Structure 1
Amino acid sequence: MKILLLSGGAGRRLWPLSNKIRAKQFLKLLSTENNRKESMLQRVCKQLEDVGLISETYLITNQKQKDLIQNQVSAQIPIICEPSQKGTFSAVALAIAYLHSKQETGIDETICVLPVDAFADLSFFYLIQQVPSILAKSLAELAHIGVEPEFPSDQLGYIVPNIIEQSNDYFQITHFIEKPNTKKAAELIKKKALWNCGVYSFKMSFMLQLLKEKGIPTQYAELLSVYYKLPKLSFDVEVAEHSKCSIVVPYSGPWKDIGTWKAISEHMTSSVTGRGMISDDSINTHVVNELPQPVHVIGISNSMIVAGADGILVADKNRCAEVKLQHTKEIPRYVEKRWGSYKVLEKVDEADEQQSFTKFVNVLPNCNISLHVHQNRQEIWTILSGSGEVIVNSQLHSIKAGDVIRIPRGCSHSIKALTPLTFIEVQMGAEINENDILRITYSWDEAVQQCT
């Protein structure tokens, strides 16, 4: 069996720490048995390793999240990158094309698609191990895992089973209901409906045939070349809801959707994460603070206080989910990369149409930023601490604290840290955006070879 871990999301419900790049699965808010902090991504990968499935696991993500994934999980897990986000159906199609043409995966192989933010104990992953045999026995096209509901939820979809036709391991599926209101959810639970946790399995042959019927290439390189033309579609809508022969495997163990601050706070071992303090009379209140300034809470109960580079949230725990409705489209102010991280300090639009963009950049030892070129802006780097090397216009120089490097537009440049390195980057130009970049190489050795 091959496991496809889907990592996407816009990071709206866990603002201000999550954003379109740093989605909820990357936030290190959960505690391990050793009381160390880990992310949802790290937790699910560890669980897959514990049940012996990690060696057959592939991560499907987008280019913006690739660096974060590489920072958090083993390099042995292959990463399949969408050129652009096109929904879960297209992401799965791309992964199937990769397995088919690059890995030569057999048509009888079972594929299990799993969201990267699944929060369950090991019994859930042991059940996933059994899915191939259940799928084969049932002769179904699709096998879903459905969670027995603990309460009527309006935040989850439901799978309605045929309770008359059942076996010891699974039910036939009659239909799906997407996020009903709580009254309707309660009625569904009486009919033995199960929460749709987004886990489904099928044979390679099923998906390959489906792609051919839809005129979608099954060769990886060919699909990549036309990927931008694909509509944004979900797997549930495009495939699951139209399947004439699908089953659901019930799961009765611990499973939770921890996509809100209230849900995450229930799994925090400490009421304060980061610098801060909560008074004794502040009952059921949690603070998560990524800022250097302390946050003190006095006499406020049942609340969530979250402070980060993108903003500050102070909310009643029962209303934390509303932040998704009010979330702005501002640029992320804290971004993690494969080489380190940066914080946006200031963005200024001048009257004469000149823009400036100021960042605080942190580069990890022995890591480097890619050799690249900007056509529409110049940059100034002021080294604050550490030592390293810089390439500007094919010239290699050593750098240290206090040095200032000027980079004209159209000039190739890169930087490598020999020790922990921090600097201020000021971008200036008529138009500053993330698309104004031409990458030459990610390799420092290749960049040095181009120096004169």
Structure 2
Amino acid sequence: MNIILLSGGTGTRLWPLSTKAKPKQFLRLFTDETGQPVSMLQNVWHQLTRRGLQKNTVIATSAAQRELIIGQIWRQVDLVLEPDKRDTFPAILLSVAYLVTHRGVSREEPVVVLPVDSWAEDRFYDMLAQLPNVLERSRANLSLVGVKPRKPSDKYGYMIPEEAAVPGEAVAIRRFHEKPSLEESARLIEQGALWNCGVFCFRAGYLLDMLQQMGITGKTYEELLLSYDRLDPRSFDYAVTERESRVTALAYDGRWKDLGTWCALTEEMKHPGSGPVFISEGSRNVHAVNELDIPAVVVGLSDVVVAASREGILVTRKDAGAELKETLRKMIGKELPQDGSSERWSRPLDSAVFADGIEVETRRIHLSKGQETSIDASGAYGRKVTWMILHGSACVHKNGETFTAEAGNTFLLEQRDQAVVRALEPLDAIEITTDIR
């Protein structure tokens, strides 16, 4: 059995902790059996390693996530890097071509696809090995894992079986319904519907044959790379699953959850606070995650999430997922003006976590004439902040000393250092923050 682990998403619904530079699957918000902090990626990889499946796994991701993955898994791992983001269907096609071209996988061998951003009990991962047998016995083109819903939800897709699903057994799927309303999802559950958790199995040749249908003749990994921009950006569910008539699902009745929202994520956190956080006794059902070096205090609130990072600060009701997504969409559309804008802005360029625990974040910063920004390395042990002026000039007040920095100049802040930078003219700079954890 071959496994494709999908790790290309950015998880914007978990802003401000999850960003393009450091997506949600790399956030260490959970703990393992020894009490050590782990990320979604590390948790899933641990589950695969315990079953000896990591040897047959490739990770489909973007080039920007390469160092993050290597830094967290701390071992050699096979990565399939997308030339550009085009959703899950092209990413899976490219990964299958890689398996066939570079790992010698035959057309008849089964391939299992698994998302990185979910949480489930151990026995959920035990079921992965059953999917190829389900595919073979049923003579279907796709076999999936269908999760028995615990309650109506408008966050998941549903699959409607031909007959009542029995936990641990396979059932034919009649049709799919993508993210219905709460009222409709309740009706679907009464009909025996299962959640589509994004885990599915197919034969390698089944997917490669679709390339010819799309007018792409080359099937090797290198040939597909050259044609990658011709693939429409579509999800696998839309492009394949919902159009396939021969589908079976293996019913699972244990705990499973997509960790794509703050509400879902906080339900699996063992502690209500992370970082310098203080929550009053009068607060109820509150979770706060603080990556800053200043305290966050929550008093007299209920059913909220407070999240703070260098990217921004979020305060939201746990049930406001849809409203949050729309608000973030509007914000992201405004926060990245073009170069030369008179607005003050900052955007992440890169983030990396290395095997020795060092984390490095790189940002591009723009200030218009007269604007200021503060830099503080005093609150974090082992922190260093490096500034490189790309264009323009600034007056820098650092620890009581004042000097001018121009294009090409670099200055460093270490433990206990503080500085204020004031732009003497439109200023562009690179800020590199290094933390030793």
Aligned-partner residue type, residue 138 of structure 1: S
Match status 1:264 vs 2:265: yes
Separation in 2, partners of 1:164, 1:95: 34
Match status 1:337 vs 2:352: yes
Report matched runs for 1:292-331 at 5 Å. Answer: 292-327=293-328, 328-329=331-332, 330=335
SS in 2 for 1:244: coil
Assess, with a 3 A threshold, how the Cα gap between structure 1 residues 294 and 105 changes in structure 2: closer, same or farther: same
Aligned-partner residue type, residue 199 of structure 1: V
Number of equivalent positions: 397
The residue aligned with 2:398 is none
Separation in 2, partners of 1:287, 1:17: 11
Q: Report if aligned partners of 1:260, 1:321 keep a CA contact under 8 Å in 2.
A: no
Separation in 2, partners of 1:222, 1:103: 16
Assess, with a 3 A threshold, how the Cα gap between structure 1 residues 282 and 334 changes in structure 2: closer, same or farther: farther
Aligned-partner residue type, residue 139 of structure 1: R
Assess, with a 3 A threshold, how the Cα gap between structure 1 residues 237 and 274 changes in structure 2: closer, same or farther: same
Aligned-partner residue type, residue 252 of structure 1: D
Separation in 1, partners of 2:204, 2:49: 23
Q: Report if aligned partners of 2:30, 2:38 keep a CA contact under 8 Å in 1.
A: yes
Separation in 2, partners of 1:9, 1:130: 27
Alignment identity in percent? 35
Report matched runs for 1:203-214 at 5 Å. Answer: 203-214=203-214
Separation in 2, partners of 1:116, 1:132: 20
The CA deviation at 1:310 is 1.3
Q: Which runs of 5+ in 2 are unaligned?
A: 337-346, 383-387, 394-403, 431-437
The CA deviation at 1:316 is 2.0
Task: Find the partner of 1:347 among 346, 366, 387.
Answer: 366
Separation in 2, partners of 1:201, 1:101: 19
Aligned-partner residue type, residue 80 of structure 2: I
Deviations, residues 218-248 of structure 1 (Å, cap 9, x unaligned): 1111211221232211111111122121111
Assess, with a 3 A threshold, how the Cα gap between structure 1 residues 163 and 294 changes in structure 2: closer, same or farther: same
The CA deviation at 1:123 is 0.4
Assess, with a 3 A threshold, how the Cα gap between structure 1 residues 174 and 429 changes in structure 2: closer, same or farther: farther
The CA deviation at 1:145 is 0.8
The residue aligned with 2:248 is 247
TM-score, normalisation: structure 2: 0.80
The CA deviation at 1:120 is 0.4
Separation in 2, partners of 1:357, 1:241: 51
Aligned-partner residue type, residue 296 of structure 2: V
Report matched runs for 1:126-141 at 5 Å. Answer: 126-141=126-141
Farther-moved stretch of structure 1 (339-348 vs 104-113): 339-348
Assess, with a 3 A threshold, how the Cα gap between structure 1 residues 142 and 357 changes in structure 2: closer, same or farther: farther
Aligned-partner residue type, residue 295 of structure 1: A
Assess, with a 3 A threshold, how the Cα gap between structure 1 residues 245 and 335 changes in structure 2: closer, same or farther: same
Q: Report if aligned partners of 1:142, 1:201 keep a CA contact under 8 Å in 2.
A: yes
The residue aligned with 2:34 is 34
Deviations, residues 9-46 of structure 1 (Å, cap 9, x unaligned): 23221111112232221111112122221111110110
TM-score, normalisation: structure 1: 0.77
Separation in 2, partners of 1:66, 1:165: 40
The residue aligned with 1:157 is 157
Report matched runs for 1:416-435 at 5 Å. Answer: none
Report matched runs for 1:42-441 at 5 Å. Answer: 42-163=42-163, 169-216=169-216, 217-327=218-328, 328-329=331-332, 330=335, 332-333=347-348, 335-337=350-352, 340-342=359-361, 344=363, 346-349=365-368, 377=390
SS in 1 for 2:212: helix
Aligned-residue CA RMSD (Å): 4.0
Separation in 2, partners of 1:5, 1:429: 47
The CA deviation at 1:347 is 2.0
